[in-house]
Amino acid sequence: MSADTSFDPRSGATVASISHTSDTELDELVVRAAAAADVLAGASPAERQTWIRAGADALEANREELAGVADRETALGSSRLDGEVMRTAGQLRFYAEVAVEGTYLRAVLDPATPTSSFLARTNIPLGPVAVFGASNFPFAFSTFGNDTASALAAACPVVVKAHPAHPMTSQRTFEVVHTAMVGAGAPESVAALVFGYEAGAALVKHPLISAVAFTGSQAGGMSLWKLANERDVVIPVYAEMGTVNPVVVTPAAGADIASIARGFVSSFTLGSGQFCTKPGLILAPRGVNATRIIADALEDASPQPVLLTKGIANAVTAGVAELQEAGATLIAETSSTGAGWSSPATLLAASVDLLHVGSRVLNECFGPVAVVVEYDHVDDALKGVDSLQGALAASIIAADDDPDAPRVLKHLERKVGRVIVNDWPTGVAYTWAQEHGGPWPATSNPTTTSVGASALDRFVRPIAYQGLPESMLPAPLRADNPWGIPRRVGGRLETGERP
């Protein structure tokens, strides 16, 4: 049987090897997850919160070891990874808290009228969810990352397909969190971990899997989406694939190009450019020497990026070559260590007309690569924006009371899930208002988010109960509102009060 083998990206040396999950093992895990689904659905959000908090505490307690393992498999640096473990624990607690708050259940009660019977509606969990973690956040978007945490909070058991680039990190994270959750009372099959491409495909096709959550490349996300669409019972696939996130510098903001250049370089090379929110494209007004100044800023910063996998490193090299063939000009390239999966950071320049092709190629460069476009008039920049694929985020760098900013905003709104003014898109806080999603193909479903309170909404579906006696109603719809959740009763929204 084959195995997932990880490598130290700094040297290329082998780190760990974990056998792939067999078909029989996989089937058993999913069958058990389906049985656990009833236990999770029957537990209150507060009970699930107890389990999830125990998992979060265990993550924190083991963060040094976990960050160490992950650094060997990802080269993302111990301090960044230590912070990421803490963030992942925070995410777990946040989603559990969102579940306890209860708005995600969208409970509604329509009292009986002379012509209609009592009708009440609540969300119920979909059932076992398959989660495919990302390479670039081995904790925050991996084994117990945003997707898993929000699915568990929404009462869905999870079967995680480990990312092949960090199998040992996945395994240890799973052991630490799973043991703690079960110790706190969660059913054994609240979560499971599987390895291997075949196991991943079998998961998506398994009749007892109810939804798929994925973070990664367009090629990966699309293939899972297609697989799910071929099922007898088609299930939702929430694929967060990202694309090229544009930055538009307005003419009025052009004067600040030196500081903009430093911020842009720092943002597009962060984590070796391996962020789905990386600003891969900057549109700046002609006449402020933007291309030269950004190139200088890149040379000043002179990062020495190391990429997560050989595959990513090769795709970056190929993408940069393809961009040049398409008509982009190489402007600056930093030196690289030459060892392992190291790569230069690269800046290219292109014309607005190139964007509708270039943005698709650039999308494949999941690394420290960015393109500068100098525009003559804001209308040209907007034409460029209109030609881009849907994206997760976009930034506007604008002056106070900038006359062009509202128009730029209008065009960017159609393309992305988040617009930022005078800051960079790379940070994604897990909060009530967050939206980490965007029009196709940034995500497979533009009405959802994979980060923030609404992430739970992906794993529930509404059901209405008509004429049910009080004794048969689930807790969210009982007259005494035992969980104290917000509800709409007789058309009026009531904020609820925790017991």
Query: For residues 211-240, which are near a second copy according to CB under 8 A?
Result: 229, 233-236
Cα–Cα nearest to 468, from 476, 456, 459, 460: 476
Q: Are 148 and 45 in contact (CB under 8 A)?
A: no
Cα–Cα nearest to 313, from 273, 272, 343, 293: 343
Specify which residues 370 forms β-bridges with.
Answer: 347
Cα–Cα nearest to 320, from 310, 312, 330: 330
Catalytic residue among 73, 101, 276, 374: 276
- Please, which residue, 368 or 441, has the CB nearer to a second copy? 441
> For residues 379 and 222, what is the distance between their CA atoms, to the nearest angstrom?
33
Q: Are 386 and 362 in contact (CB under 8 A)?
A: no
What is the CA angle 299-305-311, rounded to 5?
A: 135
Binding of a second copy at residue 401 (CB under 8 A)?
yes
Binding of a second copy at residue 445 (CB under 8 A)?
yes
Active-site residue 240, yes or no?
A: yes
> For residues 182 and 482, what is the distance between their CA atoms, to the nearest angstrom?
26
Q: How far is the CB of 462 from a second copy (least distance, A)?
A: 5
Taking every pair of C-alpha atoms in the chain, what is the biggest distance, in angstroms? Answer: 79
Binding of a second copy at residue 484 (CB under 8 A)?
no
Alpha-carbon dihedral 282, 285, 288, 290, rounded to 10 degrees: 20
Question: How many residues of this chain interact with a second copy, rule: CB under 8 A?
Answer: 71
> For residues 387 and 333, what is the distance between their CA atoms, to the nearest angstrom?
27
Interacting residues with a second copy between 413 and 442 (CB under 8 A): 413, 416-423, 427, 429, 431-435, 437, 439-441
Sketch the per residue contact string, 59 through 98, with a second copy: x for CB under 8 A, - otherwise: ----------------------------------------
Interacting residues with a second copy between 136 and 175 (CB under 8 A): none
Q: How far is the CB of 436 from a second copy (least distance, A)?
A: 8
Binding of a second copy at residue 252 (CB under 8 A)?
no
- Please, which residue, 24 or 115, has the CB nearer to a second copy? 115
Q: Are 363 and 243 in contact (CB under 8 A)?
A: yes
Binding of a second copy at residue 116 (CB under 8 A)?
yes
Q: Is 420 in a helix, a strand, or coil?
A: strand
Binding of a second copy at residue 446 (CB under 8 A)?
yes
Query: Which CA distances in Å does 406 have to 147, 370, 471?
Result: 34, 25, 54
Catalytic residue among 101, 240, 364, 435: 240
Contact region for a second copy (CB under 8 A) — 9-17, 173-181, 283-291, 409-417? 409-417
Binding of a second copy at residue 449 (CB under 8 A)?
yes
Q: How far is the CB of 381 from a second copy (least distance, A)?
A: 17
Binding of a second copy at residue 468 (CB under 8 A)?
yes
What would the two tokens of residue 66 be? 């976990």
- Please, which residue, 194 or 420, has the CB nearer to a second copy? 420
Active-site residue 276, yes or no?
A: yes
Contact region for a second copy (CB under 8 A) — 74-82, 161-169, 283-291, 463-471? 463-471
